[in-house]
Structure 1
Amino acid sequence: MSKNLRTYLNQVKKLLPDQIKIVDKEVEPEFEVSAIIEKLENQGESPMVLFNNVKGSKIPLLINLGANYDRLALAIDSDTKNIVFEYGKKEQNRILVKEVSTGPVKDIILKGSEINLNIFPIIKHNAEDAGKYISAGPTLMKDPDTGNQNLGLYRLQVQSKDELGLFINPANHGFLIGEKYRELGQKMEVAVLIGHHPTVIMSSVSKLENYGGELEVAGGLMGEAVEVIKGETVDLRVPAEQEIVIEGIVDPQLTRDEGPFGEWPRYYTGRGERWFIKITAITMRKNPIYQTVMAAHDEHNILGALPIMGSLIRRIKAVLPTVTNVNLPLSGGGRVRCYISLKQHSDGEAKQAAFIALAVVPNIKHLILVDDDIDVFNEKQVLWALSTRFDAREDLIMMKNCIGSHLIPTAFDITKQKHGNMETKLIFDATRNVTPHLNGKPFPKMARVPVEIVNKIVPEEYLKECTKNFEE
C-alpha cells in the first residue's frame, strides 16, 4: 500500500499513541478549534487532534500534525537527534514520481455549480484574520519555461465558494513563476493539495536549487515514489493518494484585497492586492480528511523549520563539508534566526557558511556561528559562546538593504519610508580563530571535568534520598 496521510496516522497511533487525540463534540470553525490548540500549547502539550464534528461540515478536520519534532522524525524514519541530517540526505536522494491511471483522489469529482468550498471544515485561526484560510494546502504550478512542476506552501483565503486569495512571498519560486505568466500575458494553472503523508507538505517548504522537484523530494523522504495522476481540468500531475485537490486558474494580471492573516512571525501582516484562484474542479477521496496548520503557533514554526534546516545543511555542506549542524530555533520563529556550528580549519571559513545560508534562505535575519563543541540545539550553549567568544568590533558583520521577510513588521522598502521586503542582516561570528591572536596565545580551553571520568559516572550508584535531620 502506498504511503499517505492515513498510513502515517496509523503509524503514529501505533508508535506514539499519546500524540493523537480525537474530539467528537461539536465545535465552531471560527476560533473554537484554534482556541483548543492554543490552550494545549500554553500547557506545554502538542498532540495532533482530529475533530470529527466541526459545525457546518461532514468532513473531519486534522490539525497540529507538525507541532512536534518526534512526529516529523517518524515521518522520515529518523529520530530527533539525527532529523536535520536525515532530511538533508533524503532531500538529495530524490525519487521520480510515478504516474498512475487512477487513485482515491478521484473518488469524488465536483465541477461547475457543484464546486463549493463551504463543504470543508475550513477554520478561522486567529482573532483578526480577514476570514477563513486554507493553511495546509501546498500549491502546485508549472514553470512555463521548463515544464517542471513547482510546489510551495502559500496561504489561501476563502473569498467565495469558488475563489481563493493567493499570497506568495516575493522571494519564493512560486511568485517568480507567476511573474513569468504575467509577463507572457498567460493564465496559470494551479492545484491545491490538502492532506497527504507529511513529507509532501514538508517538501513544499524545502529550499531547492531550481524550479520544481518538490514531489521528487517527498519521494526521497518517504522512501518511495509519489504516485501522480492527471488533473481533471488542469494540465498538472497531482498526487493520487491526496485527500483533497482543488484545481483552478490564476490570472496574474488580476488582483484583489487579501489579508490580514496571523503569520509565522506571530503577527498580523501582509494585507494588500494579491492574486486569486478561480476554482475549476475539486476532487477528493470518499470520506476525506481535511488538514490545516495551526497558523501563528508552534505547528506553523516547527513544520516550516525542519525542511529549511535540512535544505540548509545539505547546501552548505556541499561547499563547506566542515559544517556540523544547523538550527532555526523557535525563538526566531523557525525562520529568522539561525545557528550554524562547524569545525573551522581556516580563519574566515565560518563567514562563508553564513553567506551561503543567507543566499539560500532570505528570511534569515540574525545568524550566529559557533564551533563544533557547541550544540546548536542548546540555546544556553549558543548564547554562552556569543557572550564569551564574540567581540562586536571584530566579529560583527552588518549587511544593509538585503531582501528579507516581508512578514516581519520591521521590514522596509528601499525608500526606508514604508513597509517592504528589505532588512538589515547581522552575522555574529562566535567561533574561535584558528590562528592564535589573543596576545599571541591560543584561545583558552573550556573548563571541564575530565570527559573520560564523567562518562564513567552513573549518578544512581552514588545518590540516595536524604533522611538526615539537620537539627539533631
Structure 2
Amino acid sequence: MTRSTLGDSQDFHVFIDAYRREYPDDVLTITHPISADQDVTALVDALAAQGRDPLLICENVGNLGVPVATNLFASRTRIARLFGVTPAQLHETFQTRANRPVPPRYVETGPILDEVFEGEALDLALLPMLKHFDSDRGPYITNAIIIAEDPVTGIANMSYHRSMRHARQALATSLHSRGHLWRMLQTARERGEELRVAMVVGAHPLFMLAAAARLPYGSDERAVAGGLFGAPLELVKTPRYGIGVPAYAEFVLEGAIDPAAYAEEGPFGEFSGYSSDRSTNNVLRVDTLLRRKDAWLVDVMGGRYAEHLTLARLPREAEMSEKLRARFPAVTAVHYPNSGTHFHCYVALDQSRDGEARQIMLALLGWDPYLKTVIAVDSDIDISDDSQVLWALATHFQPHLDIFTIDGLPGSPLDPSSSVNGTTSRMGLDATRGSGFDGIKAQLDQDVLERARQLLKGLES
C-alpha cells in the first residue's frame, strides 16, 4: 500500500471526510430517521448477518442532534488503512509505532473548547448517548476514555470504561478491569482524596487505538498516540483541573471520582454476548462539559460485534505476537478469533521439536489473563479462518495426548462462566502434526490450479 494520509490530521472530521472520499464503498450512510433506542445496534447486527462490516454513519438518530459514527474498528482492513499497510502487516506496524512514543504537545486552544458548560448550565442531557441492547439499564457511553493522573507520581493513564447517566451532573461507571485507573483510585482513597479525571468521548481513531494499548504502569497512552500519529498529540488543558485532553476531541467531561461514592451501574451488553451487571459501581461527578460546536457521537458498538472485539483485541494480539516471536522464533502468526470473544487464541508455528507448541501455549495463557483456550496449529493453517483451525483440530488432535488444563487462575470478571471469586480454568490444545504424524495432505498441482483460475477469470470477463 501507499502511504496513508488518514492520520495526517488529528481531527476526526478531517479523517471521516477523507475516508468517505477515498473508500466510498466501505461507508454506509443512513439518512432515514431512526431511534436512539437500539436501532443503531440493530443495523450493525443486520449488516453482520450479511457478512458486512462497513463504517456506519447515521445522520438522524432520535433527538440526539448530532451525527453518529460507529463500526469503525469492525474491519482489520479499515484499521490497516490508517497506517497505510495490509492487514497482514498490522501487528508489526502497530507495535513498532507504539514502541516509539512521542510526548504530547500543549496548544492554546482547539475545537473542543468551542462550547464550555459549567454550573447550572451543565446537564448531561447535553451529551448524546445510545441504548445498545434491550437488556441495558439505559443509554450508555461505550467510547468513554478516562484520562487520570496518579495522585503521588503524576503518571498519566488512559483507559476505556463503560458509563451511563446517573444524575444531571454525574455518571455511573465501572472500573471492573481493575487496571491502572483502579490503582490510581486506590491511591486517592488512601490519601482521603478524590481522583480528578477527564473523559474523552470521540476523537481520531488512532487516539482511540492508543487508549486500548497494553502498557506497563507509568507509560502514558497519550505519548503512544503520538507514536501512532508519528507526531505529538495536540492537547489542551481542561478549564478546572488542567488535565491534557485532545484539542480535536468531540466531547470531554471534566470531573472527579469519589472513592467513597457508589451508584448502581449495569447491566450492559458486554463482549461475551451476555449482559453483565458485574461492576465496581463508581460515580464520576461531572464539573465541566466541553464540546465541539459541530460534534459527532463516535460510538463503539458494544456486545460481541466485531468493532468492540477488534478494538480491544488488536493491541493484545500485537503485544502477544511481539513477545512470542522474541522468545519463540518458531511462531509465525497469532490470532484472537471473533468466535472466541476475548477468551480464545490461535497460534501458528513451525515446530522444531515435540513439546514446543505446548510451551508456547503455556506462555500465552500466562501472559494474557483473559485467555481460556489456546489452539496451536502448523504454519500452513490460515488461523484467520476458523474452518481451517477446526479442520486441524479434527485431523491432528488426540484428546488423550494433546490437551492440558490449568485450574484456579484469575480470569475476566465479565466471563459469565467464571467462579464467584473470579477464577477460571485454562486449556491448551495441540493441533500441530507432531513428529509421529504420517498423513499426506491431498493437494493440487500449482500449475493446474493457476490454469483453473485463469479459465474462470476468462469466463467472468
TM-score (norm 1): 0.88
Amino acid at match of 1:303: L
Q: Which runs of 5+ in 1 are unaligned?
A: 414-419, 466-472
Structure 1 residues 221 and 8, CA, compared in 2 at 3 Å: closer, same or farther?
same
1:313 and 2:348 are equivalent in the alignment: no
Partner of residue 367 from structure 2, selected from 348, 357, 360: 360
Partner residue of 1:468?
none
Partner residue of 1:431?
432
1:332 and 2:348 are equivalent in the alignment: no
**Do the aligned partners of 2:69 and 2:296 also contact (CA within 8 Å) in 1?**
yes
Following superposition of structure 1 onto structure 2, how do residues 8-407 of structure 1 map, counting pairs within 5 Å? 8-272=15-279, 274-296=281-303, 297-333=305-341, 335-407=342-414
**Do the aligned partners of 2:201 and 2:298 also contact (CA within 8 Å) in 1?**
yes
Amino acid at match of 2:306: D
Alpha-carbon distance in structure 1 between the residues aligned to 2:361 and 2:104: 34
Partner residue of 2:422?
421
Deviations 1:402-439 (A, max 9, x none): 111111211113xxxxxx42111111122344xx4x3x
SS at match of 1:353: helix
**Do the aligned partners of 2:9 and 2:15 also contact (CA within 8 Å) in 1?**
no
Amino acid at match of 1:421: G
1:5 and 2:12 are equivalent in the alignment: yes
**Do the aligned partners of 1:151 and 1:212 also contact (CA within 8 Å) in 2?**
no
- Over aligned residues, Cα RMSD in angstroms? 2.3
Structure 1 residues 249 and 464, CA, compared in 2 at 3 Å: closer, same or farther?
closer
Partner of residue 447 from structure 1, selected from 441, 445, 450: 441
Q: Which runs of 5+ in 2 are unaligned?
A: 1-7
Alpha-carbon distance in structure 1 between the residues aligned to 2:149 and 2:81: 31
Amino acid at match of 2:335: N
Structure 1 residues 266 and 211, CA, compared in 2 at 3 Å: closer, same or farther?
farther
Q: Once the 2 structures are TM-superposed, how far is the Cα of residue 322 of structure 1 from its aligned partner?
A: 3.1
Alpha-carbon distance in structure 1 between the residues aligned to 2:152 and 2:404: 38
Alpha-carbon distance in structure 1 between the residues aligned to 2:140 and 2:199: 13
Could you tell me the percent identity over the aligned residues? 28
Alpha-carbon distance in structure 2 between the residues aligned to 1:96 and 1:322: 35
Partner residue of 2:4?
none
Q: Once the 2 structures are TM-superposed, how far is the Cα of residue 59 of structure 1 from its aligned partner?
A: 2.2
Amino acid at match of 1:18: D
Amino acid at match of 2:441: A
Alpha-carbon distance in structure 1 between the residues aligned to 2:320 and 2:93: 12
**Do the aligned partners of 2:176 and 2:280 also contact (CA within 8 Å) in 1?**
no
Alpha-carbon distance in structure 2 between the residues aligned to 1:11 and 1:464: 35
Amino acid at match of 1:185: G
Alpha-carbon distance in structure 2 between the residues aligned to 1:97 and 1:351: 42
**Do the aligned partners of 2:278 and 2:413 also contact (CA within 8 Å) in 1?**
no
TM-score (norm 2): 0.90
1:459 and 2:453 are equivalent in the alignment: yes
**Do the aligned partners of 1:133 and 1:155 also contact (CA within 8 Å) in 2?**
yes
Amino acid at match of 2:340: G
- Of stretches 157-166 and 208-217 in structure 1, the one that deviates more from structure 2 is 208-217
Q: Once the 2 structures are TM-superposed, how far is the Cα of residue 130 of structure 1 from its aligned partner?
A: 0.4
Number of aligned residue pairs:
451
